[in-house]
Amino acid sequence: MDPLSPDSAPVPGELIRPGTAPASVSRAGPMTIGVEEEFLLIDPETRLLAPVADAVIAKAAPALGDHVTPELTRYQVETRTDPHTSLAALAEQLHATRRQVAEAAATSGARLVSSGAPVLLPAGPPPLTSGERYARSAAQFGALDDEQVACACHIHLGFDDRDLALRVSNHLRVWLPALITVAANSPFWDGRDTGYASWRNIAWNRWPVAGPPPHFASTGHYDDLVATLIGTGAVLDHRGVYWDIRPSHHLPTLEVRVADAAPTVDHTVLLAGLVRAAAATALESVRRGEPAPQPDPHLLRAACWRAARHGLAGHAVNLTHHALEPTQRHLRDFLTWLRSALSRHGDLRHVETLTAHLHRHGTGAAYQHRAYRRRQRLTDIVDDLVTRTLSPPLPRGTARA
């Protein structure tokens, strides 16, 4: 990855003092973005999950190499992109990767689906991927693993300075509900309508270290807390820290993990554009020495819950005024906050087009509900998801009917 290159590194564990601009903030070029997408594998006859991940990965690996990997269960695969500075190039790789994995799935007797949660599940616990770490997880967390056949979209932002990444994370926390709203794509789970736009978000937050991250005072604060959590057995290791934003344990990136797997490449690209602009805007706040907002952690969790519950419909929690406001207004405020960064990255027109499309047609959750309403058949949802997973991205600056 081509991460931001800080001018000078901070002292490890240096206090993050509100009102002071760190010398490590870089003014390098466009922030890089990379994406990890998780997918479900579906039996085309029954529309139940198909445990063929090993075969799919083996068939896709000659073309994709380590850009396709296993997930927790053999019902799932994960893909990853290269780092990009262009949303158009990101969209091209995302679409090509989806096609290649879908072809590998088809030759393995399955179909590829991008959904935050499975519409239909086979009976019994899922078959876990083999390996020592997955075995340890099953032994330590029991039924939590049984119920985690869920898929997310993770956005990686190029930072090689963990202190700086944590400062940016502190500023991003208040906008996690907005990102949940935009990315909601898991209203159905195991044959029923959950009543939530993003049930994956609710299910995932049952893990002991998940949801919005704390406000971190320093890199030392982060490291000490994670070490303590590992010592308690609440997480297996650094990879098991499932906060919605975290410094990557193996890449020079800040990882935003709050989103459901997106139904289309366009939804993923919109999410990536919004997340990068949010990080760039937060970076400017850090550069100016502005203190990060520190909402009450219970109110922040409540705001994330409400976003997962209602998606684009209804009202969102305004964390500044401690009151509800129309979700559409909340998202407009979010986009206003991002506008300058979107312009600097050359993404404004494309993100505005994708946002307008989102407001006209809805999130992935809305797509799933419309597919079900046509004939009241859960299998229709699965079939619609299969089609949307491989739909080509919009050309920049156009609108799809």
Among 56, 2, 66, 71, residue whose Cα is nearest residue 31: 2
C-alpha distances in Å from residue 247, one per residue of 20, 124, 168, 182, 223: 21, 35, 10, 23, 11
In this structure, are residues 275 and 256 in contact, taking their beta carbons and an 8 Å threshold? yes
pLDDT tens by residue, 114-123 = 999 999 999 9
Give the pTM.
0.92
Q: Does the pLDDT of residue 16 top 60, yes or no?
A: no
State how far the Cα of 8 lies from the Cα of 261, in Å rounded to an integer: 36
Token pair 């312009």: residue: 343
Which pLDDT score, from 0 to 100, does residue 28 have? 55
The predicted pLDDT at position 34 comes to 97
Q: Can you give the pLDDT at residue 249?
A: 82
Each residue of 85-113: pLDDT tens digit? 999 999 999 999 999 999 999 999 999 99
Query: What is the pLDDT at residue 400?
Result: 43
- Please say whether the beta carbons of 278 and 168 come within 8 A: no
Q: Is residue 52 scored above 50 in pLDDT?
A: yes
pLDDT band at 168 (very low <50, low <70, confident <90, very high): very high
- Is residue 383 over pLDDT 80? yes
What local confidence, expressed as pLDDT, does residue 396 receive?
67
Q: What is the mean pLDDT of residues 250-258?
A: 94
- Which of 135, 92, 99 shows the shortest CA–CA distance to 114? 99
- Mean per-residue pLDDT, 248-273: 96
pLDDT-derived band at 4, boundaries 50, 70, 90: very low
Domain boundaries, the chain: 33-389
351 near 343, Cβ under 8 Å? no
Q: If you average pLDDT over every residue of the chain, what do you get?
A: 91
Q: What angle do CA 81, 177, 223 make, to 5 degrees?
A: 65
- Digit-coded pLDDT (tens) for 174-231: 999 999 999 999 999 999 999 999 999 999 999 999 999 999 999 999 999 999 999 9
- Residue 194 confidence (pLDDT): 98
- CATH match for 33-389 among 1.10.10.10, 3.30.590.20, 3.40.50.300, 3.30.450.40: 3.30.590.20
What average pLDDT does this structure show over 391-399?
73
- pLDDT, one tens digit per residue, over 291-350 is 999 999 999 999 999 999 999 998 999 999 999 999 999 999 999 999 999 999 999 999
